[in-house]
Structure 1
């Protein structure tokens, strides 16, 4: 690592959060590791989760699923659908549990299984109000169940839904979704199926025990963050696992009237010391943070000034005694991804997943 800008991921924090969430769930848990484990590193997070007894993992893309299968022999669920023959065939060959919610998807999967003498496992997605993907009517559900009853290649391994607003204080709509899901489950059971049922995301795992069913999905909370400020974590002690670290590459003194960076958005009122730090928006340190973010420099909090550039950012360091080579923490113990998210009107998920591939991940307690 020649450029000393990196994300330090403490895998013991991941392990700790899994233990906390298992305690809250009281069921099996599924680790959601899509988007490179929310920016933390998929394979490393999965390895640590396996050490903690996790045997279910969820991803969002077929490429993620096939990549994870190279190092993980546990249950892997693709949360989105596969629409083309090449992708479905690759997932079937890799033994990935596939998300299905249309009769066309089911028939394609069956045709591929028949042609290759394969078995497949599916999780049926019920749309209870998210209106993204999933079965929306009883008639759609029954059509799939009728098809499944007449064949032996495809196992209905699971059924699931996703809550649209479980991370809000008002749980009324979430409870409506829960009732719709229970209605679908009754139809499925009346047809003689007994799939694994899962509905709880991080928010529902923490706050809605009646939605836990057989398995709870650990998303943002596994990485140490509450899903929102409206979710009360109670006795859960979640620990953010990722720190974003860079270093000072240049120190200079500017005079009153001097400007800093593109657009001259910062103009000094007096003589100041400025540090250039080797991180920018191409690393995922968002340009929208310009002039708003702070960072940690030892015991000091230093303020970003001027516009964040593609590869570099400038900070005000007057009175700190900072020097070239000093470490700067952009995300750490006192400045979290949630803090940065608040500054630009987004969520911790986006801050974490924005960290680009050119920022190496360095692992602690692997």
Structure 2
């Protein structure tokens, strides 16, 4: 067997279904959030696919992610960087790159350095606590905008994923600010994240920001049955050994793992060196439509307790049941999927 036993298989059909469905649902253009390697789905493949199908806006967290998109040499796309850019020359050299302003001091700095406001999005923070211009600076912000007749590429905020009532409060306050300074000062207006796309209308907005939901990864409590999952982590069984003939499983003594006797151990070429955390020990995999527990994870390999039905070369899938994986790992799906690194190939099918 070759070196590429495992791969992340991504469904083009499901990605495009979600993209078209969400556009139609909210009657708005989409800013596709593709940070963290498109949440583990492969940033280059996803951006190329969506760009060919009409998506013109992509959001990332950092410059290094924007650089990956720029290297694709795609036409008619814009890249929005959600965090602060340290090298302002990056904006000057790439006019299709835009930046979110994350505090009032930063806004003043950018204006003093003659950064084009057509490359800037104001972000308002209504208590989310991550980034954005905070409410105590809103009076200064409104004064600055009105006295200098400033216009920006965009304005945005971020709604909370945990509380629907808070989402409505943010939506109301956001629109109050827009009315006070004038919506015509902003070409692009966006507030809904993936949970917000499902929950609220996004009154007054021109775009929706779709990250995890675009890939079929939905928040608990914010579920739409029309959204389709695109991600599969699949591979092959490298070999199978009789448990009775082994003293160690990887680096662990067999007795310490407390395994059943008269079983077999299957080895696969996937480990924490690939971003498959040791926290996954005990999680269930699927081989031949049967569930088998992963009992040990090393840097380059994992070991699975199997029965006589499993043979070398059989197909295996990890994270088959996302809800079960979330419960076991005690972290959201986008965390453990984003951790799978580039030693594992991403393939659009």
Q: Give the TM-score, by structure 1 length.
A: 0.85
Q: 1:206 aligns with which of 190, 193, 198?
A: 198
Residue 300 to residue 172, structure 1, CA distance change in 2 (3 Å): same
The match for 1:181 is 174
Contact 2:192 2:202 survives alignment (8 Å): no
Using the alignment, how far apart are the partners of 2:117 and 2:207 within structure 1?
A: 23
Q: Which stretches in structure 2 are left out of the alignment for 5+ residues? A: none
The match for 2:267 is 276
Deviation at 1:261, TM superposition (A): 4.2
1:287-302 correspondence runs (5 A): 287-291=278-282, 293-302=283-292
Residue 67 to residue 232, structure 1, CA distance change in 2 (3 Å): closer
Q: Deviations over 1:265-320 (max 9, x none)?
A: 422342111111111112122211112x1112122222212x31111111122131
Contact 2:213 2:227 survives alignment (8 Å): yes
1:98-117 correspondence runs (5 A): 98-113=99-114
Q: Aligned to 2:264, what secondary structure does the other structure show?
A: strand
Using the alignment, how far apart are the partners of 1:187 and 1:213 within structure 2?
A: 15
> Is 1:304 the equivalent of 2:307?
no
Residue 267 to residue 232, structure 1, CA distance change in 2 (3 Å): closer
Q: Which stretches in structure 1 are left out of the alignment for 5+ residues? A: none
Q: Aligned to 2:291, what secondary structure does the other structure show?
A: strand
Deviates more, 1:214-223 or 1:170-179: 170-179
Deviates more, 1:261-270 or 1:66-75: 261-270
Q: Aligned to 2:185, what secondary structure does the other structure show?
A: coil
Q: Give the TM-score, by structure 2 length.
A: 0.89
Q: Aligned to 1:240, what secondary structure does the other structure show?
A: coil
Q: 1:350 aligns with which of 313, 335, 338?
A: 335
Q: 1:125 aligns with which of 123, 126, 134?
A: 123
> Is 1:260 the equivalent of 2:258?
no
Deviation at 1:77, TM superposition (A): 0.9
Residue 90 to residue 313, structure 1, CA distance change in 2 (3 Å): same
Residue 101 to residue 143, structure 1, CA distance change in 2 (3 Å): farther
Deviation at 1:90, TM superposition (A): 0.8
Using the alignment, how far apart are the partners of 2:126 and 2:337 within structure 1?
A: 28
> Is 1:197 the equivalent of 2:195?
no
Residue 253 to residue 261, structure 1, CA distance change in 2 (3 Å): same
The match for 2:84 is 81
The match for 1:221 is 213
Q: Deviations over 1:313-343 (max 9, x none)?
A: 11122131x2222221113xxx144432221
1:9-28 correspondence runs (5 A): 9-28=10-29
Deviation at 1:263, TM superposition (A): 4.6
Contact 1:257 1:269 survives alignment (8 Å): no
Q: Aligned to 1:7, what secondary structure does the other structure show?
A: strand
Using the alignment, how far apart are the partners of 1:216 and 1:5 within structure 2?
A: 34
Using the alignment, how far apart are the partners of 2:130 and 2:208 within structure 1?
A: 20
RMSD: 2.4
Deviates more, 1:72-81 or 1:275-284: 72-81
The match for 1:329 is 317
Residue 106 to residue 302, structure 1, CA distance change in 2 (3 Å): same
Q: Deviations over 1:96-115 (max 9, x none)?
A: 1111144443344345447x
Matched residues, number: 341
